[in-house]
Structure 1
Amino acid sequence: MDDEDDRGLNPDGTIRREGSPGRVPAPFAPVVEAARTRIAGTFGAARLHSAYVYGSIPRGTAVPGVSDLDLLVALRGAPTAADAAAVRALEAELDAAFDQIDGVGALLHDAATLTSRLERHDLGFFVACLCTPLLGEDLAARLPAYRPTPLLARETNGDLGLALPLWRRRAAGAVTDAERRALSRGVARRLVRTGFTLVMPRWRGWTSDLAESAEVFARYYPDRPERIAQLRLAARTGRAPSADPAVLTTLVEDLAPWLAAEYLAVHGEKAPRP
């Protein structure tokens, strides 16, 4: 766990950007370089504003053969269907080319949305604090410094309830182990982040480490041992996805509805998006 006096903050109490190129583990350096080259070649300078890598690779905690590659592509205009198709093809190419990674996920947005007032405490925070620049102008320069406030908690994860119908449909339709593992990883990570940000303003810090996030949550819900156990399960599943249908049922049908209701009671609902 991070030093008790650190908690992911700068000396002035703002949240420190968590990744950097220098932290990329050596086995993943070729992966990141290939991502840089292929993104530039796919979109070109006229279309591409900037690109970023986030997650365990720039944090320096990635495990070869286990960790996935997480990317953000920022365009100069609104993404089109062709842009989305190009990103899906890029994901498949990178995943097939490197045994070091177990999957690739690339988010696609336009720069104006990422720096908009509506997204200031959600996607804006994501870029400024959780993303490491790969290409182009770093949008973090256009964004403010962030603190672990209730506003940040509300705007990052105050919409968990909207994800539940989709998760239920995907869980019901998952017939292969690969489908269940992919869904369990995404659901588990979202639930751990939500559990952590639920208590983040009281902890007064930031972490993206799944195990640490679950333990921070546990400090503030000692009277909910069943929820602590479930969030720890989610943290383990986020790192090592499970194909067990019972795990998905626990996360989607038990932990997620409770967490969504508790979040609304504590922080309120995220500002609606168009």
Structure 2
Amino acid sequence: MAGRGLTIDGSIAREGALSRVPRAFGGVVDAARTRIVEAFGDGRMHSAYLYGSIPRGTAVPGVSDLDLLLALHAEPTEADRRDATRIEHALDKSFEEIDGVGILLFSVRTLLSERERHDLGFFVACLCTPLLGDDLADQLPRYRPTPLLARETNGDLSLALPGWRRQADEASTDKHRRGLCRLVARRIVRTGFTLVMPRWEGWTSDLVESAEAFGLYYPERAEQMRAAAERGRTPSADPAVLRHLIEDLGPWLAAEYAAVHGEKALRP
């Protein structure tokens, strides 16, 4: 039976669609499509995708960012990255509806590789919405909320913690601290959700729902995860908030994740 982000056969449903893009963001998406074609329509690009709150239909004008993924025929080059950066800056400058633009670049070979089958492959098939080109999801399997998927999506939290500590120590402005708080809080909440995902038997990208699902199985940490979900939506510049996420909840979660699901396979 369908429910909790699953299809009728129990596989994870694709969470976004162009039909769900809020009207306020229609011009942003159209401009993104045009600029991507202008920059990458010379044969380098296989396909382009939206992901995040805009294709899920939950974006807030002036608050949400625009997230894009480009699948290239070859491995991304510095020239590709420069072109992507120019698109990011142009869109962010042109539209008050968005607060930042991020473009991920990967080769088709990487996205379809066996190594990435339950990480980037899952990301494309279930969390990305086709914008341009042929959909790579047609070449990927149906995914279910299994321990394997949990391990390969978020089983590397421990590797992120040292970098976050360094960034927190180096953050010199409230803007930097809020940006880091948002990133860390969202990653922790999503990792907390995938920790319990196989037992919850479903999928969600909603931060509040993710925290509530986590709390069903770890009631002693439920309030901390709810607070992290709130910081993921309204980040704080308070260094104490960052310290709590990075030095308390994060390390505990990384250790529990490794004990329950094991660690993600190492990437080169």
Partner of 2:227: 233
Q: Confirm or deny that 1:48 pairs with 2:39.
A: no
2:261 pairs with 1:263: no
3-state secondary structure, aligned to 1:109:
strand
- Structure 2 stretches of 5 or more lacking a match? none
CA RMSD for the aligned pairs?
A: 1.1
| Match in the other structure for 1:35 | 32
Query: C-alpha offsets along residues 156-182 of structure 1, whole Å, 9 cap, x if unaligned?
Result: 000111111111111111101111111
Q: Which residue of 2 aligns with 1:15?
A: 12
Letter in 2 for 1:245: P
CA deviations 1:208-241 (Å, max 9, x no partner) are 000000000000112x1xx222211211111112
Candidates 64, 67, 87, aligned match of 2:84: 87
Q: Distance in 1 between matches of 2:178 and 2:133?
A: 34
Shift of 1:5: 5.9
User: 2:166 aligned with 1:169, yes or no?
Assistant: yes
Return the alpha-carbon distance in structure 2 between the equivalents of residues 221 and 100 of structure 1: 37
2:57 to 60, 72, 80: 60
- Distance in 2 (alpha carbons) for counterparts of 1:9 and 1:228: 24
For normalisation by structure 2, the TM-score amounts to: 0.98
Q: How many residues align?
A: 268
2:145 to 148, 151, 157: 148
- Runs of 4+ that moved beyond 4 A: none
Q: Is the deviation greater in 234-243 or in 159-168?
A: 234-243
Where 1:14 maps in the other structure, the secondary structure is coil
Q: Deviations over 1:186-227 (max 9, x none)?
A: 1111111100000000000000000000000000112x1xx2
Which residue number corresponds to residue 216 of structure 2? 219
**Alpha-carbon distance in structure 2 between the residues aligned to 1:229 and 1:85:** 42
Equivalent residues of 2:168, 2:180 under 8 A apart:
yes
Asked if the contact 2:48–2:131 (Cα under 8 Å) also holds between the matched residues in 1, the reply is: yes
Q: Helix, strand or coil: the match of 1:196?
A: helix
- 2:96 aligns with 99
CA contact (8 A) 2:2 2:8 kept: no
Once the two structures are overlaid, the 10-residue window that deviates more, 195-204 or 164-173, is 164-173
**Separation in structure 2 between the aligned mates of residue 162 and residue 72 of structure 1, nearest angstrom:** 23
Matched residues in 1 for 2:145 and 2:42: separation?
35
Partner of 2:70: 73
Give 5+ residue unaligned stretches, structure 1. Answer: none
Q: Whole-Å Cα distance in 1 between the matches of residues 2 and 224 of structure 2?
A: 28
- Take 1:102 and 1:230, find their aligned partners in 2: how far apart are those partners? 27
CA–CA distance in 2 between the matches of 1:74 and 1:240?
Answer: 31
Q: Which residue of 1 aligns with 2:247?
A: 253
TM-aligned CA deviation for residue 95 of structure 1: 1.0
- Counterparts of 2:70 and 2:178, CA distance in 1: 25
AA matched with 2:264: K
Secondary structure of 1:107's counterpart equals strand
Q: CA deviation at 1:85?
A: 2.0
Over 3 Å counting, the alpha-carbon distance change for 1:118 and 1:133 in structure 2 is same
Partner of 2:201: 204
Inter-partner Cα distance in structure 1 for 2:79 and 2:251: 36
**Which secondary structure does the structure 1 equivalent of 2:104 belong to?**
strand
TM (norm. structure 1) is 0.95
Correspondence for 1:133: 130
